[in-house]
Amino acid sequence: MAKLNVVLISTYELGRQPFGLASPAAWLREAGASVTCFDLAVEHLEEEAIAVADMVGFYVPMHTATRIAVSFVHRVKEINPRAHLCFYGLYAPVNEGFLREIGADTILGGEFEEGLIKLAERLSSGVPSLIHQPDPVVSLARQQFLVPDRNGLPELPRYAHLILADGRSRVVGNTEASRGCKNLCRHCPIVPVYGGRFFIVQPEVVLADIEQQVAAGAHHITFGDPDFFNGPTHAMRVVEELHRKFPGLTYDVTIKVEHLLKHAAHLPRLRDTGCLFITSAVEAVDNDILEIFDKRHTREDFIRVVSLFRETGIYLNPTFVTFSPWISLSGYMDLLKLIRELDLVGSVSPIQYAIRLLIPAGSRLLELPAVQDLVGEFDPAAMIYPWAHPDPRVDRLHAAVLKVVSDDQVDQEDRASVFAEVWALTEEACSIPDNQRAEPVSAGRLHLESIPHLSEPWYCCAEPTELQMAPRDHV
């Protein structure tokens, strides 16, 4: 490959050093390209690098990242109108039409590394840009991964960190042991691209990536897999070897409720190999809503998981899509009551109380006639099907709750006070008389001890708020 100048750009990846820059950087550099990476969540874009780029690739793994990336396209094209513009990642193919309209030449989703190599080879050989890209927009071809190349990325201490129960913090790295997902949850943005398929990253690649991050100062690893137990045998092999090589290293993973129950026998070993907490997309506690989302678990299953985690000694980090067209005021209050009854106030990140359902292009929710009747025309610039709640009071409550969690920028020690504010707002929205209102946080009732958590809140399947769209600076 003739020397090709490539710039890869990430705009936001949940406060993590982007795997989606490090992995393709390894492939492109091995092929002979000169690669410069920018993570605009923690650093500025350098115009000099853009000016000499033959190819600029925006990594768009989530809705928020894509919205922010779009805001930089005009600037990039103004600096270097000849550069080939590529969008790659989960949200590229589902927004193909709009991204091409604003100037994207190539769109790559799914397993994108090989597509980036083929694109780079065409550009380096002088092949002019084609009207129709020859490579598939979505590739589900199995790849032999390379160890991600993290050279040139901002240092790990600049990203989100782990806050321990005693208040100390740890530097966090991240990796992926698998990509895609075999689950078909209707609201999930992974499904339109992967369609129920997932791909493992070779264990030796995962462990080599962890090793280089430990050498760079990481004392905790976040596994970015959509569901760590898509392949439980593979997952356990990785963490067993991780613990053997780095016995003092801790980690966290994401696993759906259904798999936590199905593979509960693995939980003690996760704990013993250093797993501090597990994120699980509970989404709702109303069984009707869970069925709409096709989550394959029930309210009762969630309660069982909470009990199971208490017995095992692993912390649960539950996440929710708290505001959807099907939640009522009483249903929202029911969610708060259950969180209180299960002593989970200290476990729920405040932003979770304000998460509002996002319906992107390709969402399986659109298969339901009731959803088709509910949504407005697709908004390509916002990249969503807009919806309003049938009960305007619910949308007003969402706005009020969002203001509470956005204004306070709260951390662990504030979770009880934020919960109390959200509780009071909900009682007011439900028109509960003053003399019938409950004390949301009473001494001795709630389990409010500090728990290990990341300084960057986890969220998914949600419309980006001003809080989420704001650039992060973890320096």
Cα–Cα distances (Å) from 301 to 37, 277, 390, in that order, read 43, 18, 29
N-terminal to C-terminal alpha carbon distance within the chain: 37
At 6-34, the pLDDT tens digits run: 999 999 998 999 999 999 999 999 999 99
* Residues in a beta bridge with 84: 55
Q: Which two tokens stand for residue 162?
A: 């782990």
Strand bridging mode 169-175 / 220-223: parallel
Query: Please, where are the H alpha helices in 111-163?
Result: 113-124
Share of the chain above pLDDT 90, in %: 83
Please determine, for residue 464, whether its predicted confidence score (pLDDT) is greater than 50. Answer: no
* Average pLDDT for 124-143: 83
pLDDT (tens digit per residue) in 323-366:
999 999 999 999 999 999 999 998 999 999 999 999 999 999 99
- pLDDT, average across residues 421-428: 95
pLDDT at 465: 47
Confidence tier at 409 by pLDDT (50, 70, 90): low
Rounded CA separation 63/311 (Å): 36
Paired tokens of 331:
């249903």
**Dist. CA 294–CA 282, nearest whole Å:** 12
Determine contact, residues 363/95, Cβ cutoff 8 Å: no
